[in-house]
Structures are given as structure tokens and as C-alpha cells.
Structure 1
Amino acid sequence: MYQQSLPIILASKSPRRQELLKAMDLDFKVVLKETDESYPEGLSPAEIAVYIAEKKADAFLGAYAQSIVITADTIVAFEDEIMGKPENAAHAEDMLTKLSGNTHEVFTGVSLIYGEKMLSFYDVTEVSFRPLSTEQIRYYIQEHEPYDKAGSYGIQGWIGMVAVEKIIGSYTNVMGLPTERLYRALSAI
């Protein structure tokens, strides 16, 4: 069992990440800093997720020396396309149309800062969608606000209930934080 010895700071406004830390029985506070989420060309999806998580973590270096700061970034990769958060309804519809009836990968990069050290890792989950009609996709966009979610969907909501046929890997990774890997990393600190 992980015995929390240092205060934990979650550097994320994601309600899903906050829910996951609460479910892990961790005491934490949320501290936000705006970070540019751009990345260099030529990186693999795993490298992009870790690069952005580390970029977010860099903003906290030296600021909370007596705490563990957790940052994360989640992306969806389908074929050669990286799918972040949609810009608008049309962009969300385009992403969900591509994912419909296909299998894609969800990558989450995580960085932990403690003292002057940084530990980073990623997890990947394969997600298969059944085919969705245009009407179903538009209903989801209108009723379930996909704008703060990579790939335009949250597995824990309507899409997860009706569209996800199969996952291979961590469910919590698709939610935005691979809790199994995080728990092991926290235990190692």
C-alpha cells in the first residue's frame, strides 16, 4: 500500500484526472499553470505525450520542492493523425467519423517532479469503436460536450457505453491518467 509522505499537486484542470486521484485515496491539491502544448515535428505519439507532459512539468521545477507534482497529457492517434482536443463541432464530428468503426490508440504521458528530479513515462491503450451513424455522432457532440477531450470523446460517458466495443490496455489511461503505472511510480519515489 502506498503511504503518502509528500504533498501531491495535480497540475491539471481535468475533472477526470481529479476523480482518478480521489479514487486512489490520494490527498492532493490542484495548481494550474498555462503551458504551450506545441511539439516538434517527427515525434511518435508516445514521444509527443511525454514531451508535452514534461513541458507542463518544467513550469513547476523548483516551485514545489517539498511536494510531488503530477502532470499529464493524453492524445489519440489514428493512422498517421494525432487527435488532440477538438476546436469546434465540425472538428469533433470529423474526428469521431474517422474513429467510427475503427481501432485507434490512446497515449498518456505522465511526469512526476519531486525535488529536482523528474520521472516520466507513458501508457498506451488500444480502443475499438463500433460504427456510429452521423446522427449518433451529432447527438453526442450536442449533448455531451467533447471539447475538453482528446479525440473528442470520454470513455466514461455516452461514447464508452454505446460505441466502445473493446479496449486492450488500461481503461484509466483512456480517461487521462494510467493509475496503475502512476501508483507504481509513486511507490518508487
Structure 2
Amino acid sequence: MEEAAGSGAAAAPAGLRTAVTEIRLPAGARAVRLREWKVEPGALVKVDSVVALCVAVPTDAECGSEDREQPKRRLPEKKVKSDRAGVVRELCYQLGEVISPGDVIARIEECSHPIVMKGLCAECGQDLTQLQSRNGKQQTPISTAMVSMVHSVPELMVSSEVSFGLM
């Protein structure tokens, strides 16, 4: 069973264009125990990359007296995925800890996609053509790359920050 992690964006310090996104356990999910990290700080993640593997925490009813007599059944594993591309900055839990619904699992510095060639980000490798719309609504902004660098190669776009750095 897979879980799409929700996010909440936190503002970056003034002057920087990167945003830090919080990957959270969805509010409607049940509590889980962190079994394994699939990323580490400094790792690059794409949209839908698996960030962590967790197992559901059994409820009191599942731990009742009749369960003691039966062999223990394995609880389903849940994959917590990133809904943003970027670089992992912080892992907020240790292995074995219980994560409650809505809790922040990790923080990711979002990629601003400053260099794009034929719909692919040169920084993180994300296919931006697949991010044009998600769940029927437009995501904005997808990329800061808006300046065409070479007239004969219109597919190469860079952000204004990158273009000023090249001059």
C-alpha cells in the first residue's frame, strides 16, 4: 500500500529562491512505525520518489486477546513518497519511532528547475512535462527557467539568475 505524503511549504530566507517543503504523513492515515529510510540528507529526490518505508501501528482491537492465540500476521508496509523534487535537508524521525498522522517526516529543499532542456530539469532530472497538471489543476510555478539562451536551440531555457551569472 502506498501513501502520497502531503507537504507544507516554509518560506526560505530573504534573497533565496529555494523553498523548503515538509513531507508529512497524511492526516487521514493511521499512525505508522518508521522501518527504513530510503533517502539520506543531501540526496536528490524526484516527485513520487519513496522517502521511507513504514508499517502500520496495530490498534488496540488488533492487539486483543484473540490475536494472542493466533499466529501474528504481518502488518502491511506503507511507502511514504515525496510530492516534490529537490534535495533532502532533514530527516525528522529515527528508525523504530512512531509517526502520527500529520507529522513532518522530512524536509526537502525544492528544486527551482533553473535549467531546462526539452522539458527535463538539468539540476534534478525531473520530467517537467509530466508536472504540467496534477489532479486536473495547474501547478505554478513549475520552473524558474524562462530565458532562452540560444536562438537556434529554443528548448534550452534558463532562469534569469543563471542567465545573469553567464554574462
TM-score with structure 1 setting the length: 0.24
Larger radius of gyration: 2
Structure with greater helix percent: 1
- Higher strand fraction: Structure 1 or Structure 2? 2
